[in-house]
Structures are given as structure tokens and as C-alpha cells.
Amino acid sequence: MGSVQHVILTRFNLPSAGNESYVREREGWLKGRVALFERYCLPSVAAQTSRAFDWIIYFDPASPPWLLAWIAEHAAAGDFRPIFRAQVSLADRLEDIAARPGFETPAFLITTNLDNDDGLAADYVERLQAVEASDQPMAVYFANGIIRTHQAAYFRVDRRNAFCNVIEPWEGALTCWAAHHDKLNQVMDERRIDGPPAWLQVVHDTNVSNRARGRLISPRRHAERFGRLLDDLAEPSSTDYMGEYLLHAPQRAIREAARAGTKRLVYAVGGADGADRVKAAWTRLRRGHHTRH
């Protein structure tokens, strides 16, 4: 299909408004984010079976000195290509992609969104690069992944997940940040790919939206593809599976149904801005609770 350039795009601490800004104000947020990145994100990219990609990570130009030193160390090791911007427009993204040393204009561009606290299966890049390109932009999702908490792993089907990819001609490229990950279908065609879990979403204390969802699974069964990203989880016992089937899964289903209904109502009344205000208020409430305790 002609020459291809594949770029993974990651936001690390870009300045942002709205709900996430309240999380980023917490003391220690950046150090916690660095720890998550080094535990999950970085090793998963380093373990890819195909190395034919570039990894751009965007940072706030006003990052503290200790973070700048950390960034410089990883950049020198070739782990990723850091770029400092307060905002990132489409023109910025394409300019940054083309700024790679030795860059030659490709026929096709593949871009992948990867959050800095999540991870990829070892063959993610290889599987994605095997997808045939066309003369029109196409959003590509691996529908199956794993959500992990501090205690367990869950198989999750998410047909428009945050690990979104766009395969498109270089001429007129939009990239995977052309729209929110679950709204890319509004600006281009989409394709979903089934198969073994392709991504790992990590639920931790500073998540804004992520939570445990899906079906309890054995982490050992997926060790070959996720390596040390799951190696600290114990194997579920028969009691764990029984409790999941009879209690925890039904409880999560009820909560998800309630959240979905509330979300539809909020969007119907206040639109996207109203939803952001509700999220922001909830995050401030949670922050105050954690501070008091």
C-alpha cells in the first residue's frame, strides 16, 4: 500500500481545562503520573514486536525542573520523542510528525492514541500495521482489551475505546485526534477488529472516568502478550469467580445502567458543556472527600 509512517501520540501533562484540570491540581499528580507511565505505558511500548513506529509525547512547556530532567533522560535513551506545546493543533501535529530526523513523506499515515497511564499488548503495533489502508481516512479500533485494578483483571469489549487509531493518506491527514475517540465515526469511516485483548486500561486513584468493567479473567492466561503489566496480580480463586458471577458483576451492571441513563439525561439537557460541568463538580467533591480523609 505504499510507504507508511506510524506514530503513537501521547498527552502527558498538556494544559487542559474542564474536569481533568481539577485532578491535575492535586499535589503529587505529576509524580504519580510518572510512576504509572514507567510501570505500564513505557514497558508496553518497549515490548512491541514491531519497532517501525515513532512515539511523540507532548509535555507542558511549564513543566517543573525535575520533570524536565526526567524527560531529557528518556529522550536521550531513545524511549520517545518529547515535544513541548501548550496546545496542539492539527497543523502542529503534522509538523511534529514530519520533524522526525530522516523523515520522508509517506503515502499513508497511521496514528495511535495512547494515554500515559495505560498499556498495549506486545503485538498491538504489528496487528495494526497489517490492516489494509484505503484512499479515505479510517478509524480502527481493537474492540477487546483488559481493564486492571489493584486486585484483578477484567476482559472488556469496548467498540470505540480510547486506544483509537486512524489509517489515512498523508495528503490531508486528520490523525487520531481529529475528534474524541468515540466520535471519530462522525468524521470518517470506522472498522472494528476482534481477536485477543489488544490493550490494557489501568484503573487507579487519579482516574477521572475509568472504572472496573467487564468479566473477571486469569492474568496468567495473558502473560505472554502483556508481560509484567499483569505479573503482580494473583490468580482468581473459585470463590472469587463465584462472588464475581453472583454479586460483583450484577452490581456493576446496575451501576453502569444508572450512569448511562444519567449521562443521556445530562447530555439531553445541557449538551457536552453541561456534562463537563457535572464531571467537574463531581471531581471537586471527590477531591474534597479524599482531602478530609
DSSP string of 151-174, one letter each residue: S-EEEEE-TT-SS-EEEEESTT--
For residue 283, give the 3-state DSSP assignment.
helix
Which residue in the block uniquely carries the three cell numbers 479515505? 136
- Grid coordinates in use for 122? 506486545
* CATH architecture assignment, domain 4-229: Alpha-Beta Complex (3.90)
Continuous segment of H or E residues that includes residue 280:
helix 249-292
pLDDT of 208 reads 45
Continuous segment of H or E residues that includes residue 190:
strand 189-193
* Pairwise CA distance, residues 293 & 291, whole Å: 5
Query: Which of 62, 79, 89, 116 is CA-nearest to residue 177?
Result: 89
Q: Return the domain boundaries, the chain.
A: 4-229, 237-293
Burial, 94: exposed, middle or buried (Cβ in 10 Å; 0-12, 13-18, 19+)? middle
* Pairwise CA distance, residues 18 & 266, whole Å: 16
pTM assigned to the model: 0.82
What pLDDT band is residue 293 in, cutting at 50, 70 and 90? Answer: very low
Query: Which of 159, 158, 176 is CA-nearest to residue 167?
Result: 176
* Contacts for 171 with CB less than 8 Å, ≥ 6 apart: none
Q: What angle do CA 54, 8, 41 make, to 5 degrees?
A: 105
What pLDDT band is residue 287 in, cutting at 50, 70 and 90? Answer: very low
9 compared with 293, residue with greater pLDDT: 9
Tens-digit pLDDT profile for residues 238-262: 887 776 766 565 665 565 555 555 5
pLDDT of 250 reads 61
Find which of 17-31, 57-71, 209-223 is predicted with most confidence, using mean pLDDT.
57-71
